[in-house]
Amino acid sequence: MPDATANPYDTLVYPGFALTQAHPDRLATLATLFGMTPAEVSRCRVLELGCGDGVNLIGIALELPEAQCVGVDLAAAGINKGQAIVHELGLKNITLQQYDIMDIGRDFGQFDFIIVHGLYSWVPPAVRNHILTVCKDNLAEHGVAYVSYNTYPGCHLRDMTRNMMTYHVRDVSDPRQRIEESRALIQFVVETGMGNEQYRTSLQKELESILVRSDHAFFHDDLGEVNTPVYFHQFAAHAARHGLQYLSEADFVEIQLGVCPPKAVAVLKQLASDRIAQEQYMDFLKGRRFRQTLLCHAGTKLADEPSMDNVQHFSVSSQLRPETPPVDCASHTPAVFLGTEGRSIKTEHPLMKAALLTLSNAWPHAVHFHDLLAEARVLSGQVATTDEKELLHDARVLAASLLRAYAGTAVEFHLWSPRFVSHPSERPIASPLARLQAREGQTVMNLRHEDIAVEGSLEQQLLQLLDGSRDRAALATDLSKLVELGNLTMQQGGEPITDLKSARHKIAAELEVTLVEIGTKALLVG
């Protein structure tokens, strides 16, 4: 039998990661788009409930040195781990506390942003209720709360395998055994291949996602004692009972009707009388199983539609690159810009082409809307003017195009400028959190608050050495020492280099390239 007294999050720690979608910058940006006036990101107060080891919040505290961050979690193991990191990094603007959410009252303080990730669906009803009480009582007037949760209808399929697995391991308490036996059961059911085709296909898909899920996520999320998905309309009603209203999803693309086929959009518009209903129907169409919802106080006046007038407040960034440079920004010849994960934009509009080219050159840095407009006007060959009408017209055209691009995840909007450099200095300095994380693994948080994969052991070892004390020669020397000690193996054509001299040559050849690579990943502060 699982031990009912032990906290499962102490038994198997849930390693923290960067919640880019819940960063105060994202929450403030979306709030601004909907007409709110959120707190200044750089000086905000952030509370994270169920913060685990606090790594997400530690990243925020590091990136926003003038912000005040408080994280609470019931499990001691995660909090202890997080406190050790806070201590090592010398951060003074964050406290991580082992604390029960149920004990949080109004006197716990007011926060501009409250983050609740991976908690609402995994706690008993009383705690679920209190999460929303805290989101109401401890949220500043113009504050935004982020709450993620599992949703129906998508989770009906997940429930099917979860119910089989939790039955199967009902008498097993060892986490590793629970994980292995649960996976084995679903594999067995799929391989046996009985039942009708619909059943077999659904199970096969569930098995695929079970097999790629990390052990800790699988253990806590799928096999946890509580896992309560809800329909979006139920969540929205629950929030409303607590004096909160729906603001947006953290991923703006998720609320875009435009992702549905045009015929479906027409039907949706007829079916849905308000935003809640519209999004509920969209969940039916998508078979949605997870949401990351932003809430604000009921009564806060929100725009019906995100306003393009507010785009002028933002800085803009984009990873898109022209498909076939050079781009002719002066004509109406169409140009395609390509990004990662199939993102692309085709535009013939000179101003938008020029803006995308400017953003491409600036990446990974963002460009403020006003500077972007000025640069795009020059690049697209417009003559300098002080004509207010013409400038306003161009600003509106560009803002509308950028808002569409933002809705399609082709550009990002920001209200905060991360502090990083893309070119390594004479004695390069990497983010102290990333250096610390590189000691343990190959996933590190960059200064744009994203988890980044470190490519290979050279990058992983080099990152740890970038504390500003070493120039290129010292870095090469220390990397060679690591090779001698057997802690670093250089490779040639996929094969390990075994003699030291060749390894040194390889280090010399790859050092600068690797430093530049680290810089483009927004991991350097100097």
Site residues, ligand SAM (CB under 6 A): 9, 14, 16, 50-52, 72-75, 78, 100-102, 117-119, 122-123, 127, 220
Burial of 326 (0-12, 13-18, 19+ CB in 10 A): exposed
Tell which residue, 106, 437, 119, 135, has the closest CA to residue 296: 135
Q: How far is the CB of 22 from ligand SAM (least distance, A)?
A: 9
Which of 135, 329 has the CB closer to ligand SAM? 135
Tell which residue, 18, 13, 15, 26, has the closest CA to residue 416: 26
Q: How far is the CB of 98 from ligand SAM (least distance, A)?
A: 8
Which of 96, 507 has the CB closer to ligand SAM? 96
DSSP 92: S
Which of 323, 440 has the CB closer to ligand SAM? 440
CB 471 within 8 A of CB 526: no
C-alpha 83/C-alpha 90 separation (Å) is 10
Q: How far is the CB of 12 from ligand SAM (least distance, A)?
A: 10
Q: How far is the CB of 89 from ligand SAM (least distance, A)?
A: 19
Which of 155, 410 has the CB closer to ligand SAM? 155
Which of 97, 333 has the CB closer to ligand SAM? 97
Q: How far is the CB of 27 from ligand SAM (least distance, A)?
A: 16
C-alpha 222/C-alpha 37 separation (Å) is 38
- The number of beta carbons lying within 10 Å of the beta carbon of residue 177 is 11
Output the six-digit token pair for 410: 């082709």
Q: How far is the CB of 16 from ligand SAM (least distance, A)?
A: 5
Please tell me the total number of residues recorded for the chain in this structure: 526
Residue 316 CB contacts under 8 Å (≥ 6 apart), including other chains: 355, 359, 366, 367, 368, 369, 372, 402, 411, 412, 413, 414
CB 116 within 8 A of CB 148: yes
Q: How far is the CB of 225 from ligand SAM (least distance, A)?
A: 11
Which of 56, 347 has the CB closer to ligand SAM? 56
Residue nearest ligand SAM (C-beta atom): 50
Which of 220, 353 has the CB closer to ligand SAM? 220
